[in-house]
Every structure is written in C-alpha cells, then in structure tokens.
Structure 1
Amino acid sequence: MGPVTPVYVGRQGETDRLRTLARRAVAGHGTAVLVEGEPGIGKTTLLDHLAADCAALGMRVLRGTAEDLEQRLPFAAIAACLGIGAATTDPDLVRVSGLLRGEEAFAQSLSAANHEFVLTEAILDLFDEWFARGPVAVLLDDAQWADRQSVVVLHRLGRGIEHQPLLLVVATRAAPRADVVDALERSLVSRGGRLLELAPLAPDDVLALARDLLAAAPGPRLAQLVATAGGNPMYVTELLAELAEKGALARDGGRVELVWDTDELAEGWVPPPLAELIVQRLGFLAPAVRDTLQTAAVFGRTVDLMELAEVLDRPVSELSEVAVAAVEAGVLTDTGTRLEFRQPLIREALIARVPPTVRAALHQRALRRVDPGGERVGVERVAEHLLAGDALDARMTDWLTETADTLTVRAPAQAVTLLRRALDTAPDAARPRLRLQLIRALLWQGLHADAERLARVALAEGGDPAQEGALYWLLVQACYRRGRLRESLAAIGDALERAPLTEVERGRFHGFAAVCLCFLGRFDEARTAALRAVELGEATGDARTAGIGDFALALTYVVDGDLERAMDADDRAIAALAEGVQPDLQVDPYTLRGLCLMELDRLPDADRALATAIAANRDTGGAYLPIAHTLRARLLYLSGRWDDALIECEIGLDSPDLLGSAVRLRGIADLIAVHRGGAAPAAEGDAGYAHHSSRWARALTLESQQGPAAAYELLAPAWERAHGLEPRPLVYRVCTDLARLAVAAGRPERARALADDIDALPAAHLRPSMVATARLCRGLADGDADLLLAAAADFQRAGWPLYEAGAYENAAEVLARRERPAQARQALDRALEIYGRLEAAADIARAEARLRQAGVRRGVRGPRKRPKHGWEALTETEQRVAALVAEGLSNPDIAAQLFLSRRTVQSHVSSILAKLQVTSRVELAVRAAERSASQP
C-alpha cells in the first residue's frame, strides 16, 4: 500500500453554509461565524476550503493562526491575519506595523492601555479603508490561544458587521480556552453571529473518508477498526496512515483489509489516543529528522530554518533536506511564505516528548546562538527564549537593558517579568538602570502601585545621583496615575529641594506641578508654578517646558473667565508644543482651545479645534480624548445637534477615561433624554450628583413630578457651589432654567440675583450667550417681555436653539399676562417650531401647558415631527455622511472631511441604514443614486 493522503469528506453542509455567508458579505451583508470542535475534527480544513471560496469570490482573504506561545504577545493573532512580519512592505500596513513594533510609542503614551487603544483604532481604520475597496474575509484558526488585544479587535469588527462587506470566521476548540474567547463568542452571537459546531463525522462519512483515503472500500475488519476513531477525520487519517506504514493493510479484490501479521495488531487491539498515534506515525522518519522536528516544536508552530541552524549548529542546506522530508511526510506544510506544523496536535505530540529541562536548555542554547539584538527574529522572540529559560546571564542582562523600552511596548507582561528576574540577580552596577526601566514598564502596564512602591524604595536606598531626577519623575507619574495629585505635588517638592536637577528638569517639574494644582483647584499656586516653568523654558531654550507652563496659565485664565488672555497663552502653548509632548507631560492645548472658542460662542471654530484635538489624542493615546469628546458633546447639545451629541457621548464613554469624564458625558446624555420626554435617574442624596449636568437633568424630571419649587432646590447648588475647574463662568448655562423655576415658585428676587451674578462675571459683555442669559433672568424677574425677546435674539446669534426657544416660551407667557395675545401666540409658535426640530417633547408639553393657563394656544399647526424612516428622517449630519458613503468614501475619509472621528461616522452610517431601511452601504449607494436621478 502507498502513503495515505488527507482528503476532505463529510462537511459539504458546513461548506455550503459558509459559502452562502461569503456571498452575502460580498453583497455588503457581513456575518461573524464561530466554528467550534475538538482537535482534529476538521476546523482547519474547513477554513482552507473557505479561504479558496472567498478568494474565488474576489474577497481580500486575511488568514491567520493564533499561537499558544504568543498568548501574552499583544495583537499577535490579528497581526498573523494581517500578514505583518519583520519584513512587511505593504503600504497599507506600514502604520500598523510600526505601531506593533513600538516605534516612538514612548513619545506618544506611557500606558499600555492607551497604546492598545491607538493600535486598535489604527487596525479598524485599515479595515474601513479595505471595506471601501471591496469585501474582506478574516479567518482566524486556533482562536483558543488568541491574545486579549486581538480578541478586542475582533469584538470591535463585530460591531455593525451586518452593514459591512466582511466575513469574520473564528475557529476554536470548545475547551479549554481563555475567558476572553468565551466573551468574544457571547459578543458576536449577541450581534447575530452564527455558531457552527463541527460534530463527529457520521458512520457513512467515516467509511467514505476511508474509501477516499485508500482509493478502495475498507474491508469489514478495517471498517470496524476505523469506526473506533469516533468520527474524527484526523484520527481516521492518522490511523490509516500508521497502518499503511506498518504494512498492516493489503488489497483484497476491490477492498483494503487488515492483515493480522503483527502482534501489535492482534485481534482486539484498540488504537492509542490520537497524540500517541501521531508519535507512532512519525516512527518511520529518520532519527535525525525526528529530533530536528522536536527541537522546532519547542520553538513554536512556525519553523524558522535560520534559527534552527544557529541553535543546532548545522548548515541551512542540511536542514532544508530535513524540511523537505517533513513536508513530504505531512508533518510540515509550506504556506508559500513560511514553514509550519500541519496540525497543532502534531506539534503538541512532538513537544510532549521533550522533557521540560531539555526545553529550557534548548531555549538557553537559542539565546547563545540567536542574534541578541533581535533584529531578525524580533525582541519578543528573544524574550520568549528568556522566559522559557532559567537565570539571565550577563550577556542577556545587557541585551535586556538595551532593549527594555522596545520590549515594554511590544510585550509589556514579558518585559516586567524579565526585568524583575534580572533585577534579582544583576550586579550592583547594573541595578539602578534596570530598576528605572522596570518602573517605566510597570507604569506602561498600568501597575501604578508597584511602580510607586519601587520608585520610593530606589530613592530611599540612594544610588546613582544622575538618576534621581528620573526616579522622582516616575514617582510623580505613578502617584498622578493613581489619582493622588497631592502626593505627586509632594514628590515634586522633594525633587526640587533634594535632587541634583538640570534647569530643564526643574522647569518640567514646575510645569507638571502647575497642571496638578489646576486640577486641585489651587489656581493662584498653579499660576505661580506655570510662570516659573515658562521662565525656565525660555531661559534654557526648552520649548516644551515653556509650552507646558503656558498651557497651565491658559487653564487658570479660563477658570477666571478671562478667555481672551487664555487664548493668547494657549496659542503660545500650541506653537511651543507643535512637535508634541512627552507621554508623561499629558497636556492638550487643542482641547483647551476648543473650550475657549466654545465659551466665546464661536461654535464652528470650536468644532474644528475639538476635531483636531480628538484626532490627535486618538492617534497618540492622549489622556484628554474623553475630555475632547465631552466638550464636543456639549457643543453639539448647545447647537441643537442632539443625535450627534448622543453619538459623541457613546464614543467618549468607550475611550480610556483617566480624568473622570464619564460623569459629564452621562450628564449630557441625561439632559437630552429628559428634554425628549424621558426621566433622569435619581441619586442617593445630594452628594450623589457627580456632575451638575446630572443634577440639572434630575431637576427637570422633578419639576414634572413635584413642581418648580422642589426642582429649584435641587438645581440651585449647581450654581451656588460652582468652583474649581467648573466655575460660574463655565456653569452659567443652568441659570436659564434656574431663573424660570425660581419665578414659577414665586421667588422672582432669586432670578434677579442670578442676573446680577452673571453681569458681574469677567468679560460678560463680550459673550452673546452670557448677555442673553442675564437678560433672560432679569426679564423673568421683572416680567419684561422686551428683555426676553432680546435674549432670544442673542441666543440665536450665539447658535443655541434650545435657549432661543426657551426665551420665546418665557416671552410668550409674559406677553399673555400683559394681554398681548397675538404677540404671545407668535412667540409661542416660534418656541414650538424650534422645540419640534429638536424633538424636545417635554419642552413642547411644558410650553403648551404654561400658555394654556394664560389663555393662549398655538396659532399654527403643531410642529411636525421628523419622520422615523426615509430620507426626511436623516439629520443634517447624516445627510452629508450618506452622500459621501454613496460616493464610495471610506469611514476614515468621511471622518477627515467632516471633522468627525471614524467611530462617529460608523455610528452615523448605522443610523442611516436603519432609517432608510437598507442593510448595506452598497444598497445605500444605490438608493442615493436613484434619489439623485429622480430629483430635478
């Protein structure tokens, strides 16, 4: 009998289902599929056939396999799908490849979470670009070994997949596997993903497989033996191959039957477990080939002949002959770009034959032979060898010292483990630098308490004076990232008093102290520290230090309400920080510029500045990303683009939140919900309102439940206690509702006091919205309709439609009391028309009720609600996005044109598809073309 060749039998139903889903993806209706089954059941073969089908359909096929040795290597599985390697030249992959290698990561972020966020967004951007060009198939095998970061990318790809030309197929063992893979399954299935369980082959299929493998029907005894394989196709294949190799099969007419000419195959013989069977199958290989394959198995699924040659001290040409023999034997497979074990079980069976001590010795030998710089194999590969070995010798300690920063970005968990191990055995001379690198790695991984503890130990023990400044700086950052700003300031004070700092370092400490003091509300001290930072930055020519100082100065001026001066200082900071800032100097002058412009009622300019801030923070993992989203959500709320504001809140809440922006985002969402007829949740006690927006939303709900007096009492602290980073010059917007509630509760003097307070704020006369707010409060207190109508005109100039409508509503009631019904009805109609555009159902109901009591009803037909479906249902932003989608632009391209984030565009696209009742971008483009052709 000749050799047995694997074939594919018994999976036609599964293949047809996947082929159908692939065709749907080509048409723009994406799907996720999870393929589950035991080892050897046919998952890999199924993906092989699917990859060929997808390629025939013209799809971009991204095929990868997760590795058990790379579970701690961030983004390893998705990088395998993308085909990113050491020699990646595809221009589409340049940015992602650079981020994976950690290029300039420390110049952008000092947090693994932020770097992971940047990488995830960059990968999703890449997919969006590909989706605009054509359909994509992502096929990941052995997902039970996928790293957490790759699983997050797959989860994010699953969002909105039904609207993308994407087929996502994840093949995994049912168990054992990591919790994150279980979570991925739940996530994809909850969004409509399919679960495809590969069951054992039916008895007839097992016989058909055996017949195809043997090119003849199995005899009765052989059929009985094959039935013991439990329907596992790999088991059947390996069993028949072993029997063929042992000469235990013979042709008998048109059949192949067992021949009982060995003791091993005596009657009643039961096949061994699959792993043992595989090892027995390899018995025919020459010992030298088998030994080489066992060594290769220790180093992973992919076989690197250059690495093996260095480890085994054998020429590559000789190992090439071994590789050819292994490929011919079906142990290895040549993918065209690399050699790898055909089945994970083959590698697992081989590696199980190598004792742990021998494995460690092989890794140690690899370390002695492999290029220590890791330029060819990658620093993470060298780290794998180190982790599998025992102690680090002096050579590898030196390597770790030189490459610690790169390794920290690429594989932070490995870096921390190795640096700790090195620190335990390093000579005294090497310890200070290793300890400094370990503290940085701990900060990167988010182990801030460990970083703080080690930094304090290092400073207490003393050591190299040249490193004291750096140690203090890392201590300051560790405390800051734990939210302990006072301890950060204490560490800065110690550094300035005790450490031998350069003038640049002193300026940097003063600048960071100014930022901390601002967040603590100690603005006079912050201004002093900021001015000192500017002084030292200018004296030393260090633009970044001066820029940090100017940023902190601008922040203090904003709090004072001196926006013109704040803009000047912020412009200087932007110019000084044009090349960015170090990750441990997290400031964002563009976000601050957006705030200033918004407070000056320059909303379009503010929108552009905040778009710039969001893009910069998103690309670098900046800590101010949620704040920028918060300010943009507030701007969209003020300008009446509430659907856009809600999307901004949703995206902001998904961002890494280091500075506590979540409460502000939820508060804005609550306000919109209440205006549209919902109810804000109650808090436990007065202290339960973490932000004045949440208190505000709850007060409006309370008004409809218990009346204006109760609502006023709940809302009043938002104004009375405004301080710190949200002082009265930034919180005065609550005064419009506060004054209305006060007058409705019979306390007009309080509305008058509010007007006086606002008039006393710095530069109040320069801001139309602030002038309008003061006029509204005074007009309510005095019952002056002209003041209220003037306030409405001011709010219109400021671009605040909700407030404009509120001024008209209040004016209508005053006019009605003054027996001017025609003007009252006109003002009411104007208010209701604006409320209708905003879909502010609660405000419409309140205005109509107030005016009914005054004897006035609307003079026109009620405001027409925006329909729920069709082109008329689209908001202004959605119409613009739809037009660009119809032109074939990708989400990142649309985002760049409209000053939005990619995630914002994705949310808009999902909303557009739902409103137009289409299910793909392709259908949207067709509908848009038909609509354009039908219009004159």
Structure 2
Amino acid sequence: MAAPVFVGRDAEVELLRELARAAAAGTGAAVLVEGEPGIGKTSLLDAAAGECGRLGMRVQRGAAEDLEQQLPFSAIGACLGLLTVTDDPAQARVARLLRGEGVLALSAAAANHQLAVTEAILDLVDAWCAAGPVAVIVDDVQWADPASLVVLHRLGRGIDEYPLLVVVATRATSRAEAAGLLRSLQSRGADLVELAALPEAAVTALVADRLGAPPGPRLGRLVAGAGGHPFYVTELLAALTREDRIRVVRGTAELTPDAADAGMPRSLLDTILRRLSFLPRKERETLQQAAVLGRAIDVGELAAVLEMPAMALSEVMFTALDAGVVVDAGPYLEFRHALIRQALCEGVPEQMRTALHLRAGQVLTASGAPVERVAEHLIAGTALDAGTLDWLVASADELMARAPATAVRLLRRALAAVSEERAGELRFHLVRALIWESSLEEAEQTAREAIRLDPDPHRRSTLYWLLMDALFRQGRQADAVQVATAALAADDLPPADVGRLHGFCAKCRFFLREHQAAANAAALAIKHGEQAGDGYAVGLGRLVQGVLRFVEGDIGQGLALSEQAIADLGKGVLPDMPAGQCVLRGYCLLQLDRLDEAEQELADALVSNQRYGGPYLTLVHALRAQLRFLTGAWDDALAEIEAGLEYPDPLGDKPWLRGLRRLIAIHRGEPVPEATIVAQGQGGAAEAQYVYLDTWARVLQEEPARAQHCLDLFYPFWEHASARDHLPHRVMYHICPDLARLAAAAGDRDRAAALVAKTEELAAAQPAVSLTATARLCRGLAEGDPDLLLAAAESYADCGWRLYEAQAREDAAVAYAARGDAEPARAALTRALDLYTAMDASRDIFRADARLRRLGVRRGRPGSRKRPKHGWEALTETEHRIALLVASGMSNPDIAAQLFLSRRTVQSHVSNILAKLGIRSRVELAVTAHQRATSP
C-alpha cells in the first residue's frame, strides 16, 4: 500500500482541504503538486480526491501515460471519462468528437479539429460546473500530451469564478510543454506544493504505522538511508517483512542480526526488485512482459499477446495482487506505482521489448481494438508486416483523426519498407496526416513528391488539392495558384475536379489583390461546376464574385451573391476549404444597417466556425464587435474583442479587434493600449488594411489646435480608399464624420467639400440610413447648418448608431449656440450627454461640456453625467441577462446558445459582471441575484 499522506504532510493536506472547501462554495483554484518519483504525490492526490468526494463534488481523476504522449487528449480524456463507454449524453458527444467520428466524411484532411475538440471539452466542464462543484485531478502531468496541456491551461483561466478545483501532479523535472503549463497556472495564482523528503520524526511515524511499532536503532539507521523518501521506506519495509528480517520485541521493531549485515540496497529500483525477488521466475517474467506493454493490464488481451492460458495468467495476477504489485482499477488491473513498473521493465532487453510491442499490436489489430491502442504498440515495435500494413491503410482515416502524430510516424515507417507499387496510397495518407498534425511544410514536400510519383489520376487530383490547402494555410496564396494552374494543365485531371480548382484559384487571387484574375477564375468555377453538377465549385465561384462586388462597394450585389453561395454550399464549414459564405452575408447586412439580421447571420457563422475550428472566428468576432461599437454597446463589444483575440488568426484580423479596443478606451478616457501597427507596410496586406484604425486613435487624442495636422495624417486613408485594399469608400465611410469635424476645425474647405460630394454620391447610389446620415452630417458641418446636423442625428438614431447620433447632436448644439439659439442648443446638448453617459464616454462628455460652455450654453439639468461603475445598475442589458441566466444555474455554453454568443464571449461577460458586482464566483452571483429579487 502507498504511504499515508497524513504522515509528515499535514500542511499540504490542510491546504488542499481549504481549497476544496472554497471550490465547493463557488471559488475555484488550481494546485500544482511537484516532487520526485515516489515522494508521495499520488497519495496527496488521494487525499484531495477523498476530501472533494466528502464535500459532494464531482471528482474526475486520471493520469497521463508515458506511452500516450503523442495521443491528443489522452490524459484529459482519461481524466474526464471520455475514453470509456458512458451513459452521459454530453460525455458521449464529446467522446465521439474526440474519436473523430464523421469528421473525415466532410474532407480529405480536416483542419483545426483539435480546436473544436478543446472547445467541446471546455463546454463539458462548464456544464458540469453549472450543475455543481467539480474537481479535476491529473497525475503524472510530465507525460501529458500537448492537447491535454492546452485544455488544463484553458481551465486555469478565470478558475476562481467557477466551483472548480484543478489539481495536477508532476515530477520535479518536466518536459518543456508541461513546464509551460505549470508556469501559466502559477501566473494565474495557482498554489505550488513542493513535496520534500519526510523529516526524521515523520519517517519514524511511517515505520510505526507499517509495522505496528517504532523502529529500533538498527532499523532506524537502515531506513534513514532512504533519505526521507516515503515510497523507498515502504518498499524497503515490505521487502524486509517478506524476507522475515524484522522482529517486534517489547514494543520496538528491529532488524534480525542477519538483516543488519545485509546493508541498504543501492537504489530504490534495487529495493523494489529485492521485494519482488520472492516471486517464482515464471511469474516475475510474466509481470515484466506486462510492464513493458503499459501501466494498465487487460488480462484477456495480455493472455492473447503472451499466448498464455487465461487461467494461468489469472493465477499470476492474483499473486501480484496479494503482493501489492498490481491493484484493481475497475475494468483493468494497474501496476501500483510507476516505479514498480519501471523496475520490472528494466529487466527486459530492448529487443524483447520491441518484439512484445509488435506482437501486442498484431493481437489488438485482430481483435478490433481502438486504433490508437494498436498504434501505440506498433510505434514501439519493430518493422511492420504485410498484415499490419493492410490494417494501417484501412485504419488511416480513423487513426489520423484520433492521433495524427502517431499516424505520421507509422506511415513513414511503412513507406521505408514497401515497394513503389504500394507506396502511393501510403504517401497519400501521409500528406493528409501531416496536414492534420499542422506540419504544413512537410505536408507540402510530401505532396509534391507524391504528385510526381503517383500514377493514379484521381488520387493525384486530391493531392493537388491537399498541396494547395497546405500552401494556403501558410499564407502562400501565390504558390497555391501555381499548383492549381499546374493541376488544371494536367491531361488526366478528372472533369469533376476542374470547377473546384478554379474556385480555389479565385479565392487565392482575391487575397492576392488580383481582382480581375479572381473574377475570371470564379466564372470558370461556376461554369465547370454547373457542368459537373458540383454545388461546391459553383458556391465557391459565387462567393468570390460576392466578395469582389463587396470590395468594389456594391454591397447589395455582394449580399445577393452571398445568398446564392449559401444556397449552393449550405451554412456549414467544409474543413478543407472553409468558404465564409455566412460571414460575407453578415458583413453585407451590417453595411446595409440591417443590424438584427446581421446579428443572426454572424451568430450562425460563429456556430459553424466553432464546430470545425474554422479560420474565420477572429473575423466573426471583429464584425460582432464592430456592430456593438456602432450601437454603443461597448462593454459587449469588449467581450467580443477579448474572445476574438484568443483564437488563431490566419487571415490577419486581430488588428481590427485591437483598433476597436483602443477607440473605446479613448472615448472612455481610459489608458489606451499601444498601437498594433506602427506604420503602413508592416505585416501582411491583411494587417495593413487596418493601419487607419491606429491613425484614427492618434488623431482623436490630439488637441483641437492641431486639427490641420491631424487631417493631413488621417485624410489620405479616405482619399486613397479602394477596392484593391479591400476597404472601398462604401465601407470606409464610418470615418467621415471625424474627418469632416477636422476639416471644419482646420478651415479646410476643399477637403470638407470633397467629403460632402463623395458621401452624397455614395448615398445616392446605394441608399442606407447611416450613409444618408453621414452625407447630411458632412454637409451640415461644412455649412454650419444645425438643422441639417440635427437631421443627421435623427437618421443615426433610426439606424442605431448611438455614438454617431450623440456626436451629431453635440455638433448641432454647437452650431445652434454659434448663431445664438440657446434653447435648441441646450436640448441637443442634453440628449448628447445622455447618450454619452449610457456608453460611459467620459472623454466625449468632458469635450461637449467644454465646447458648449465656451459658447455660453450649459447642460439642461444639473447632476452627475457618469454611468455607475459598480452594482447592478452598471451592467449592460446583455450583462444583466447573462447574470440572471448564470444565477438560474445555466452553463456558459447554454447561455451562449440562447443568446447567440460564443462561450468565450459569455465567459468575458461573466468576468465583467463579477467585477462590477464586487463578487468572486458564480455561486455568489446566484446568491446576490436571489437577494435582489426577494428584497422589498
């Protein structure tokens, strides 16, 4: 048995008890337990699990395995019960996703599958936390796979808001990836428990606990040689007891004379081997072979691998159970401690180990075992035979979905051992596995070689597609176009693939700003797609036509084409080439002031991209943040911004998010984050299109006396707006109000007139309420006409642009005051201040007050113009709804589904809510909401 942790570990146990009680009460925490092998980490986790169980917490416990370091989510999957059959529908759904069921039916090499699995696991834990307190306990994290480490890292974010205790144990010297997890958890306030050697008094107590009496002088000196290592001490005592070398006489445990002469074993492993020496040779060899195959022992499988009768093997296992070498772990037996397994393994020659693994892989292949279990043994084994090669080809889809890194290693080993006749299908699968693994440069090289060598035209066509996919993911659209051109020139290209290749070319050329070539390719995609009856090719072509119309400023036609693309493609995401049709439609609706429809469409885009880890997640959050910026829901915009910044950004849209965050900070008079792009030309073309946001932020912070300087800096972005930069005048017009104010302040009549002419031209060509309002505002500022400015404000109110409405009313108030109309000036100012207050735009409040005061106009009614910062009154409408849903017991994923948000956005909102209410956890929020609802 393991050493009782209560011996010499009182402080550590009490810390875990306190944290468990806090988590059960609603305030979560993370704990890192660190120490050398056998120092008592697992025993401490036993104590933590026991305390959590007594408190009524849901306890999820598991351990990482050294053989599974390349199996994604193996450690966290074992911990959360995702690797076994379950009756829990939520667990079963995540388990199916983890196994990759159905994913490859959508694509040849699905992208970002791990992102989707990570989000699903976090959703599951979130749902558990909504139902009650949860403990997630993971041992041997030094062996955890990278995907599990990412999940644990994400669980540590904002953990104090949840009834969640995360406890991880690791050896003092960990792999770099595991060390990174420990640093991330510590940086968020995790407690570090470093288990040191037991003091002498604790060792004495441990001996007394094991033997029923304290040690005598000779035994005390012997166990002192264990250096306070509890496992070492217990194994030594077990070996001496087994050898009958300890006597208890007159209340003292002492060595027999012959034992006193034997001395201390040289190492802990020697001690373990000494303890196991009593086993007959056959039994010991059987346990050594079992140890090679892993910590868990399935007696039936082991009997097949060793070609040993099940009854005979059972007798060996019963002996091992009686001796404390293995323990009953439910469906399996397990070696009681990793060090026992290590000691047994070290007695097996390397050649025998590899042969055992190969044999295990062959047996498991024949029995239909999960592919990842077969593969972990084949990886550790020797060369693959013909039957194993057949299994590898047949299981390639499932294996790369479940364990792409393992699939890559096995496929490479197979390629080195087969003839060219069979190499084609193996190279094909290797390319796909490399893309799954995100080893894109290697996928590219392998795909080029496979295309050159493979005689199968259908397989070669798919390889062209995979090669383009790998290049596109690296941001190498020009190279992808070259590959597509080469594929289209091939004599034996299947006709059904021609349309898709043209569609791919069209998309790449759009991102390369080769708009005419993109249009030509899109037309060919539609033509060949219609001939082949391929809706995907037709949809890609129409989508590219739609984005081209959009960047040319024809928003209505862009919307129509996006809707045709949705009809062709559906609303889902094909992982090989996500099309973004819902994103385009949402963007068009936003530009047409159809904000409710845009909200719904972008919610659909969010769901589909989350499901498959699509590349448009950052862009979707940016569009949702832009919508909320315009409508003045800035706290909600900030939640979208924070959520979007956490995702990968293959399209370069994060500068948009950061730019909006800076603008909000400036309007609120808060510290302004640093600019994200210092000068135009830095970063790629995608990032460069957002440089204007940094310049906009700079000019907003300048003094009014520098209006001409600011106009000189900012106006060129409007003057040179073009389809080529994907920001035409029709999309950029939201900067015109500030440009018109600068022109008016600087007395620059030429630029003021140019702004009027262009905005009126745009409004006449494509009517939209906000565009009409902007044209009126520009003319009103140029002419100093308060009635026109007030009309602009009313139009902004009609389309929901709250900041723009407030600023237009402020401008109208200034114009009224300038011509001596104090009452309409005061009314306009009062309404502007009300709007600014609702947005917490303190900088705008101060400026408006100052401008009108200089003209002799003061606000219509006295009192504070500051929105509450704390309490329920400080919550936005969205935050208030989320707070009540949290208080009702709903999880973040459930709230996200109900409110058409992402789980990350909801999490950002919850953090803001807790901060505004001055509480720490969701449990406290529920109590506060109940008290508020029942108070008179």
Q: TM-score range by the shorter chain?
A: over 0.9
Partner residue in 2 for 1:865:
866
Partner residue in 1 for 2:933:
932
Between the aligned partners of 2:214 and 2:107, the Cα distance in structure 1 is 64
- Which of 375, 400, 405 is matched with 2:368 structurally? 375
Q: Do the aligned partners of 2:111 and 2:612 also contact (CA within 8 Å) in 1?
A: no
Does 2:319 match 1:325?
Answer: yes
Partner residue in 2 for 1:225:
222
- Which of 265, 269, 275 is matched with 1:271 structurally? 265
* Compared CA separation, residues 111 and 681, structure 1 to 2 (3 A): farther
Partner residue in 1 for 2:660:
668
- Which of 590, 602, 605 is matched with 1:613 structurally? 605
Larger mean Cα displacement after TM superposition, 84-93 or 605-614: 84-93
Q: Do the aligned partners of 1:62 and 1:139 also contact (CA within 8 Å) in 2?
A: yes
Larger mean Cα displacement after TM superposition, 757-766 or 462-471: 757-766
Give me the CA root mean square deviation: 2.1
- Aligned 1:436-447 pairs, distance under 5 A: 436-447=428-439
Larger mean Cα displacement after TM superposition, 699-708 or 25-34: 699-708
State the 1:706 CA deviation: 6.8
- Aligned 1:68-83 pairs, distance under 5 A: 68-83=66-81
* Compared CA separation, residues 812 and 430, structure 1 to 2 (3 A): same
Larger mean Cα displacement after TM superposition, 569-578 or 164-173: 569-578
* Compared CA separation, residues 687 and 659, structure 1 to 2 (3 A): closer
> Residue type of the partner of 1:313?
E
Question: Which secondary structure does the structure 1 equivalent of 2:235 belong to?
Answer: helix
- Which of 291, 294, 302 is matched with 2:285 structurally? 291
Between the aligned partners of 1:491 and 1:41, the Cα distance in structure 2 is 57
Partner residue in 1 for 2:501:
509
> Residue type of the partner of 1:827?
A
Between the aligned partners of 1:131 and 1:784, the Cα distance in structure 2 is 58
> Residue type of the partner of 2:235?
E
Partner residue in 1 for 2:757:
756
Q: Do the aligned partners of 1:218 and 1:257 also contact (CA within 8 Å) in 2?
A: yes
State the 1:652 CA deviation: 0.7
Partner residue in 2 for 1:807:
808
Between the aligned partners of 1:105 and 1:140, the Cα distance in structure 2 is 28
- Which of 30, 51, 56 is matched with 2:49 structurally? 51
> Residue type of the partner of 1:225?
L
Partner residue in 2 for 1:720:
719
Between the aligned partners of 1:581 and 1:107, the Cα distance in structure 2 is 13
State the 1:602 CA deviation: 1.2
Between the aligned partners of 1:410 and 1:762, the Cα distance in structure 2 is 54
* Compared CA separation, residues 112 and 542, structure 1 to 2 (3 A): closer
Larger mean Cα displacement after TM superposition, 423-432 or 728-737: 423-432
* Compared CA separation, residues 235 and 422, structure 1 to 2 (3 A): same
* Compared CA separation, residues 184 and 368, structure 1 to 2 (3 A): closer
- Aligned 1:237-256 pairs, distance under 5 A: 237-256=234-253
Partner residue in 1 for 2:308:
314
Question: Which secondary structure does the structure 2 equivalent of 1:760 belong to?
Answer: helix
Q: Do the aligned partners of 1:867 and 1:873 also contact (CA within 8 Å) in 2?
A: yes
Between the aligned partners of 2:213 and 2:53, the Cα distance in structure 1 is 33
- Which of 546, 570, 575 is matched with 1:578 structurally? 570
Q: Do the aligned partners of 1:544 and 1:581 also contact (CA within 8 Å) in 2?
A: no
Between the aligned partners of 2:384 and 2:348, the Cα distance in structure 1 is 22
- Which of 57, 60, 72 is matched with 2:58 structurally? 60
> Residue type of the partner of 1:69?
L
State the 1:6 CA deviation: 5.3
State the 1:132 CA deviation: 1.1
Identity of aligned residues (%): 51
5+ residue gaps, structure 2 = none
Q: Deviations over 1:751-805 (max 9, x none)?
A: 2211211233376552100111111111111222221111111111110011111
Between the aligned partners of 1:61 and 1:431, the Cα distance in structure 2 is 48
Partner residue in 1 for 2:733:
732
TM superposition score normalised by structure 1: 0.95
Larger mean Cα displacement after TM superposition, 269-278 or 578-587: 578-587
Question: Which secondary structure does the structure 1 equivalent of 2:257 belong to?
Answer: coil
Question: Which secondary structure does the structure 2 equivalent of 1:266 belong to?
Answer: helix
* Compared CA separation, residues 702 and 26, structure 1 to 2 (3 A): closer
5+ residue gaps, structure 1 = none
Partner residue in 2 for 1:602:
594
Between the aligned partners of 1:427 and 1:579, the Cα distance in structure 2 is 44
Q: Deviations over 1:567-612 (max 9, x none)?
A: 2322222233237353222112221121111111011221121111
Between the aligned partners of 2:271 and 2:293, the Cα distance in structure 1 is 22
Larger mean Cα displacement after TM superposition, 512-521 or 230-239: 512-521
Q: Deviations over 1:350-388 (max 9, x none)?
A: 11111222211211222333325x732x21222222221
Question: Which secondary structure does the structure 2 equivalent of 1:918 belong to?
Answer: coil
Q: Deviations over 1:378-407 (max 9, x none)?
A: 212222222212322322222222222222
Partner residue in 2 for 1:27:
25
Q: Deviations over 1:147-204 (max 9, x none)?
A: 11111111111111111111111111111x1122222222222222211122222212
Does 2:544 match 1:552?
Answer: yes
> Residue type of the partner of 1:53?
E
State the 1:463 CA deviation: 2.6
* Compared CA separation, residues 517 and 107, structure 1 to 2 (3 A): farther
State the 1:695 CA deviation: 3.0
Between the aligned partners of 1:224 and 1:760, the Cα distance in structure 2 is 96
Q: Do the aligned partners of 1:289 and 1:322 also contact (CA within 8 Å) in 2?
A: yes
Question: Which secondary structure does the structure 2 equivalent of 1:437 belong to?
Answer: helix
Does 2:343 match 1:349?
Answer: yes
* Compared CA separation, residues 193 and 901, structure 1 to 2 (3 A): same
Question: Which secondary structure does the structure 2 equivalent of 1:218 belong to?
Answer: coil
Does 2:488 match 1:496?
Answer: yes
Q: Deviations over 1:183-239 (max 9, x none)?
A: 222222222221112222221221111111112232221122122221111111111
Between the aligned partners of 1:110 and 1:496, the Cα distance in structure 2 is 19
Does 2:287 match 1:304?
Answer: no
Between the aligned partners of 1:454 and 1:931, the Cα distance in structure 2 is 64
Q: Do the aligned partners of 1:29 and 1:165 also contact (CA within 8 Å) in 2?
A: yes
> Residue type of the partner of 1:304?
D
Between the aligned partners of 1:911 and 1:259, the Cα distance in structure 2 is 68
Q: Do the aligned partners of 2:357 and 2:381 also contact (CA within 8 Å) in 1?
A: yes
Partner residue in 2 for 1:98:
96
State the 1:111 CA deviation: 7.3
Between the aligned partners of 1:459 and 1:670, the Cα distance in structure 2 is 48
Between the aligned partners of 1:472 and 1:16, the Cα distance in structure 2 is 61
- Aligned 1:133-532 pairs, distance under 5 A: 133-175=131-173, 177-261=174-258, 265-266=260-261, 269-372=263-366, 375-376=368-369, 378-461=370-453, 463-532=455-524
Q: Do the aligned partners of 2:763 and 2:771 also contact (CA within 8 Å) in 1?
A: no
Larger mean Cα displacement after TM superposition, 112-121 or 28-37: 112-121
* Compared CA separation, residues 906 and 766, structure 1 to 2 (3 A): same
Larger mean Cα displacement after TM superposition, 838-847 or 24-33: 838-847
Between the aligned partners of 1:842 and 1:550, the Cα distance in structure 2 is 45
Q: Do the aligned partners of 2:58 and 2:135 also contact (CA within 8 Å) in 1?
A: yes
Q: Do the aligned partners of 1:679 and 1:701 also contact (CA within 8 Å) in 2?
A: no
- Which of 614, 617, 635 is matched with 1:622 structurally? 614
* Compared CA separation, residues 223 and 882, structure 1 to 2 (3 A): same
Question: Which secondary structure does the structure 2 equivalent of 1:168 belong to?
Answer: strand
Q: Do the aligned partners of 1:671 and 1:693 also contact (CA within 8 Å) in 2?
A: no
Larger mean Cα displacement after TM superposition, 720-729 or 354-363: 720-729
- Aligned 1:646-725 pairs, distance under 5 A: 646-677=638-669, 678-679=671-672, 681=674, 684-688=678-682, 690=688, 691-704=690-703, 707-723=706-722, 724=724, 725=726
> Residue type of the partner of 1:184?
L
